[in-house]
Amino acid sequence: MSSTPAVPQIPVVTLNDGTRIPQLGFGVWQVPDAEAVPAVRAAIEAGYRSIDTAAIYENEAGTGQAIAESGVARDELFVTTKLWNSGTVDWSGPQGRDRVRRAFDESLSRLGLEQLDLYLIHWPRPMHGNTFLNIWPVFEELRAEGRVRAIGVSNFRVPDLELLLKESAVKPVLNQVELHPYFPQEELRAFHAEHGIATEAWSPLGQGKDLLAEPALLAVAAKHGRTAAQVVLRWHLQSGVVAIPKSVTPARIRENLDVAGFELDAEDLAAIAGIATGRRIGPDPAGFDWN
């Protein structure tokens, strides 16, 4: 008899370049580097195989340490990190190219990896003259060199995506954006679907505050004998969205992965649609320029 716990089956989404990403991943925003080690360890032990970090989270080293110590084969894990805004840095020309490549090398080295699975432009920063158009060709280069398997974007709005699609050869595989039942991003998701771009939800649990106490969600949860968090994650999965919930509490880390074995019906989905406010919790990418 084996004492190894069963690893939950996580659905997989095939991206537009053929890369496959687990539909549920583990996010580590606001987890200090030292705490990222036990948190990512607990996540991998629970069965997560996709981890979402970013240079600005300052926990790539802890994340990488947990990955190295996990004993799980590298090709079974999907690791995402993101290029930070970096002030008013000029991303154009050969110097801009060097800056992107250096930032990528530094992230990879902190993670202790030879190859990254997914690299994202963290914010579009349209107020800076769409510098993402300078960054993206360097992402394409890193991909062609095999240093990263897939490239994508985060917090891009429809006009940002339109511009990127018009100007570039390689499509982003996904756009990682704020998305939860309060802010379901229907218009953006329709645009993604039309262009073969996957949708990845950040703050998929609405940061766990008011959302998880919504009476309508609690009623759906009670009906299925599940928690509100599990209902919200099930909603993401049934919407075809990739979600990356965060928790540093081992019981919740496991709970958030245990979302198979029940199905939301039309009545449940209507109840969840009814709590949408159309309001963000996080910043609006149109004006977000934090450095």
The amino acid at residue 148 is V
Calculate the CA 95 to chain-centre distance. Answer: 29
Q: Residue 229 and residue 215: Cα distance in Å, rounded?
A: 13
Q: What binding mask, one character per residue, do residues 252-291 give for ligand NAD by CB under 6 A, x or -?
A: x--xx-------------------------x---------
Q: Of the listed 48, 57, 119, 182, which one is catalytic?
A: 57
Among 212, 220, 257, 259, indicate the residue that binds ligand NAD (CB under 6 A): 212
CB proximity list for 55: less than 8 A, separation 6 or greater: 81, 82, 83, 84, 103, 106, 107, 122
Shortest-Cβ-distance residue relative to ligand NAD: 208
Among 204, 220, 226, 237, indicate the residue that binds ligand NAD (CB under 6 A): 204
Taken in order 279, 10, 5, 54, the sign of the CA dihedral is negative
Task: Write out the binding residues for ligand NAD, residues 174-203 only, by CB under 6 A.
Answer: 176, 202-203
Confirm if 117 and 148 have CB atoms less than 8 A apart: yes
Question: Which of the 8 DSSP states describes residue 284?
Answer: -
The smaller minimum CB distance to ligand NAD, of residues 199 and 256, is found at 256
Q: Which stretch binds ligand NAD (CB under 6 A): 13-21, 71-79, 96-104, 245-253?
A: 245-253
Three-state DSSP class for 125? Answer: coil
226 backbone dihedrals φ, ψ, rounded to 5°: -125, 175
Which residue has 């496959």 as its token pair? 20
Catalytic status, residue 119 = no
Does residue 28 touch ligand NAD according to CB under 6 A?
yes
Taken in order 245, 250, 256, 259, the sign of the CA dihedral is positive
Confirm if 198 and 174 have CB atoms less than 8 A apart: yes
Q: Which stretch binds ligand NAD (CB under 6 A): 34-42, 85-93, 107-115, 204-212?
A: 204-212
Q: Residue 275 and residue 262: Cα distance in Å, rounded?
A: 21
How many residues interact with ligand NAD (rule CB under 6 A)?
26
Among 29, 96, 97, 130, indicate the residue that binds ligand NAD (CB under 6 A): 29
Does residue 117 touch ligand NAD according to CB under 6 A?
no
The smaller minimum CB distance to ligand NAD, of residues 19 and 175, is found at 175
Chain residues in the site for ligand NAD (CB under 6 A): 27-29, 52, 122, 154-155, 176, 202-208, 212, 227, 229, 244-247, 252, 255-256, 282
Tell me the catalytic residues. Answer: 57
